[in-house]
């Protein structure tokens, strides 16, 4: 009788051995919680397509970020939902706009314990729902949009944001904002470039979360889901322009891109586990079709294994409790 020459199962024989030889580690500090704050409400509003996630009031936002800090996660990413919108997204750079007011409040509450991050994009603030300024033909005007992004970046930096999440996918956005920050003395403000942000079907629940006014799609500025090399190219350009960190979004459908980006750049690489990924697991778990906790932790571990140094996830606080 012959015996196997190699016995890899020895490394799986007990929880202690498996823990000791584990290649990928997931800890609370690697998780970032996206949060929505809505102008004009006094109680948090549940988001129907994202069970467990809410649009916060200012008071509930303060309580939630305190809980996030206590959970030991790495940071929070803030999204504002304004009461009024216009074609230019004027509320985005208004010092009294909801996102900038919320940023000041969160920095005051937990600014020493968490990296306070702000979404830098116009889509929540425009009455057409696109991520930029439209020209006469209705297309997004890249360079006119950069001017609005610069104004938004300076407003967020003045509000105390530690990290600006550039999610609009305009050409040259990192360079324009880095130059403006340096000129105005905000030399320590971090830039997260959403370098490889793909146009696809996994953002649906997010549109509800920010009360998006979008009609049509964003395929002229977000990446084609069929293109991997293009995502790497965008990441390299963002690094060249001065991004401190680059992002791949969504996470699970683009793990190959995430791995390629992580192998190609010399800055931290993050990934965003988007609303559709969250909603699918929650829906399957609600029907008893999937082990909810197991699926959440496995999905986060897979994103880490592919190369993400940190993950934006709506499960950040809950997962942190399990990991502790």
Annotation says 7 is catalytic:
no
> Is 301 in contact with 322 (CB distance < 8 Å)?
no
Annotation says 11 is catalytic:
no
Q: What is the pTM of this model?
A: 0.96
Average pLDDT over residues 34-43: 97
> Is 267 in contact with 309 (CB distance < 8 Å)?
no
Per-residue pLDDT tens digits for 238-257: 999 999 999 999 999 999 99
> Is 154 in contact with 240 (CB distance < 8 Å)?
no
Per-residue pLDDT tens digits for 125-135: 999 999 999 99
Q: Which of 85, 197, 218, 304 is catalytic?
A: 197
Given a cut of 90, is residue 207 above it in pLDDT?
Answer: no
Architecture of domain 26-323 in this structure: Alpha-Beta Barrel (3.20)
For residue 311, which phi and psi values (nearest 5 degrees)? -135, 125
> CA nearest 85: which of 39, 31, 25?
39
**pLDDT exceeding 90 applies to what percent of the chain?**
94
How is residue 164 annotated by DSSP? Answer: E
Q: Which of 75, 249, 272, 311 is catalytic?
A: 249
- Kindly state the tokens that stand for 13: 């024989």
> Is 232 in contact with 196 (CB distance < 8 Å)?
yes
For residue 83, which phi and psi values (nearest 5 degrees)? -80, -30
- Tokens 């399990």 belong to residue: 322
pLDDT of 229:
98
pLDDT of 212:
87
Q: Which helix (H) or strand (E) holds 81?
A: strand 75-81
Q: What angle do CA 262, 267, 272 make, to 5 degrees?
A: 60
Per-residue pLDDT tens digits for 140-160: 999 999 999 999 999 999 999
> Is 77 in contact with 312 (CB distance < 8 Å)?
yes
């Amino acid at each position: 009788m012959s015996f196997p020459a190699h016995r890899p199962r020895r490394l799986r024989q007990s929880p202690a051995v498996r823990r000791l030889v584990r290649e990928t580690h997931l800890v609370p500090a690697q998780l970032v919680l996206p949060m929505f704050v809505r102008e004009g409400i006094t109680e948090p509003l549940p988001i129907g397509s994202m069970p467990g996630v809410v649009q916060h009031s200012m008071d509930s936002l303060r309580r939630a970020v305190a809980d996030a800090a206590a959970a030991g996660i790495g940071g929070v990413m803030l999204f504002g939902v304004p009461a009024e919108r216009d074609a230019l997204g004027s509320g985005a750079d208004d010092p009294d706009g909801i996102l900038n007011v919320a940023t000041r409040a969160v920095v005051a509450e937990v600014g020493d314990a968490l990296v306070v991050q702000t979404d830098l994009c116009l889509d929540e603030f425009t009455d057409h729902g696109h991520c930029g300024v439209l020209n006469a033909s209705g297309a997004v005007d890249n360079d006119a949009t950069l001017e609005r992004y610069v104004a938004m970046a300076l407003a967020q930096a003045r509000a105390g944001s530690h990290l600006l999440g550039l999610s609009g996918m305009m050409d040259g956005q990192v360079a324009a904002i880095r130059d403006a920050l340096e000129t105005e003395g905000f030399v320590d403000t971090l830039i997260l470039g959403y370098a490889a942000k793909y146009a696809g079907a996994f953002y649906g629940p997010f549109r509800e979360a920010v009360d998006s006014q979008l009609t049509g799609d964003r395929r002229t500025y977000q990446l084609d889901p069929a293109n991997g090399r293009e995502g790497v190219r965008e990441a390299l350009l963002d690094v060249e322009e001065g991004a401190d960190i680059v992002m791949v979004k969504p996470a699970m459908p683009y793990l190959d891109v995430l791995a390629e980006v992580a192998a190609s750049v010399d800055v931290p690489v993050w990934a965003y586990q988007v609303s559709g990924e969250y909603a699918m697991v929650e829906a399957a778990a609600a029907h008893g079709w999937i082990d909810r906790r197991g699926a959440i932790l496995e999905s986060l571990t897979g994103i880490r294994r592919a190369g993400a140094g940190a993950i934006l996830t709506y499960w950040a606080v809950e997962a942190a409790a399990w990991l502790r």
